A and B are shown apart, each in its own frame.
Chain A
Amino acid sequence: EVQLVESGGGLVQPGGSLRLSCAASGLTVSSNYMSWVRQAPGKGLEWVSVIYSGGSTYYADSVKGRFTISRDNSKNTLYLQMNSLRDEDTAVYYCARKIAAPDCWGQGTLVTVSS
């Protein structure tokens, strides 16, 4: 069974940093395109970032230069390093397999940016 489990969310002050993790089982992170998608409270879905199986990375304009996606193949885990956090980054962050029609999602981890 494919499973993605996010962790690392929490409360952080504006300007602070946080690193999210997404531990995968039943699939190999390095063999898949892996994405982060977020959802602000009561709002819709917003794609954040993707890492290709070949290692190329891409970001939404709203997070470019502040967020970094990466993976640890030995741990079969995806990461999202979030720096210079803003109030508008408050959201549930989901990791997902694929970018085009993601077919497997984690349960999400809540990031709250507030002073």
Chain B
Amino acid sequence: EIVMTQSPATLSVSPGERATLSCRASQSVGSNLAWYQQKPGQAPRLLIYGASTRATGIPARFSGSGSGTEFTLTISSLQSEDFAVYYCQQYNNWPPVTFGPGTKVDIK
């Protein structure tokens, strides 16, 4: 099973600043990597799939990059609605698919 790690566990950012979140896979997953946003009491929301393709309706301030084992989610200018927990998911050679432990983005 592929193990996903995310860093940092918590990221404190001021509104309007840039946020950079990292995700690492224990072995190569190619570009089979997705990012989700989850707010308290809500279901996860797909942001990025294929490592870099924004899902329908996702603002352009969200971007994804990377391949193989190292991936990055960048939020170019944080808005108030972006404070949430972000998860990465690998879907290479599934099942199973596995998720990272999450990065919480909170207000600095």
The chain A residues found within 8 Å of chain B, CB to CB, are 37, 44-47, 50, 58, 60, 94, 99-103, 105-108
| B107 contacts chain A at the CB level, 8 A cutoff | no
Interface residues of B in 81-108 (CB under 8 A from A): 87, 89, 91, 94-102
When distances are taken between beta carbons in the complex, the residues of chain A under 8 Å from B101 are 44
Interface residues of chain A: helix, strand, loop or mixed (majority): loop
In contact, A102 and B46 (Cβ under 8 angstroms): yes
User: Smallest Cβ distance from A79 to chain B, in angstroms?
Assistant: 18
Chain B interface (Cβ < 8 Å from any Cβ of A): 32, 34, 36, 42-46, 49-50, 55-56, 87, 89, 91, 94-102
> Contacting B55 at CB < 8 Å: which of A60, A103, A106?
A103
B95/A99 in contact, CB under 8 A: yes
11 example contacts (A-B, Cβ-Cβ < 8 A) are as follows: A44-B99, A45-B44, A45-B87, A45-B89, A47-B97, A47-B98, A58-B95, A100-B91, A102-B44, A103-B46, A108-B43
